[in-house]
Amino acid sequence: MKQLDDFYLNQEEPIKGTFLALKDIILKQDKDITHVLKYGMPFFCYKGKMFCYLWIHKKLKQPYIGIVEGKHFEESFLIQEKRSRMKIMMFNSEEDLPLEKIELVIQKAINLYKSGIVKV
């Protein structure tokens, strides 16, 4: 857990604050969500299956939530870039987080697992 905490502590503001807020928002969405460090980044798992993660866009230097099964999503605010499976939702750390959009996407991602579209 120390490495996971260090990930957040080592970020610079305002990205640190954005990531900490996103972590809280995601963890509050379902009791079966766990939080782990994989590949050097914070991943969120639903019943042991990775469903989203937090990272910083290399070129734009903006924090984002990566949705592992993003290919199942049609929301226009999700970005695919050159990924075949994942889509991302980027944030401007200088602005308020779009809470409703975040919760919608997280619930939709969890429902892929609950419904059996993605096997747990």
Q: Which pLDDT tens digit goes with each residue over 31-46? A: 999 999 999 999 999 9
3-state secondary structure of 84: coil
H-only helix segments in the chain: 2-9, 15-27, 99-114
- Are the CB atoms for 97 and 103 separated by under 8 Å? no
Q: How far apart are CA 14 and CA 63, in angstroms?
A: 10
pLDDT at res. 1 = 65
Q: Please list the rounded mean pLDDT of every run of 10 residues in the chain (120 residues).
A: 90 96 97 95 95 96 96 94 94 95 96 89
At 114, the amino acid letter reads K
Q: Does the predicted TM-score (pTM) go above 0.75?
A: yes
List CB contacts of 115: < 8 A, sequence separation 6 or more: none
Cβ count within 10 A of residue 114: 14
Q: How far apart are CA 99 and CA 11, in angstroms?
A: 22
pLDDT at res. 120 = 75
β-bridge mates for residue 38, sequence order: 41
Q: What's the pLDDT tens digit per position in 105-115?
A: 999 999 999 99
**Token code pair at residue 102:** 């975040």
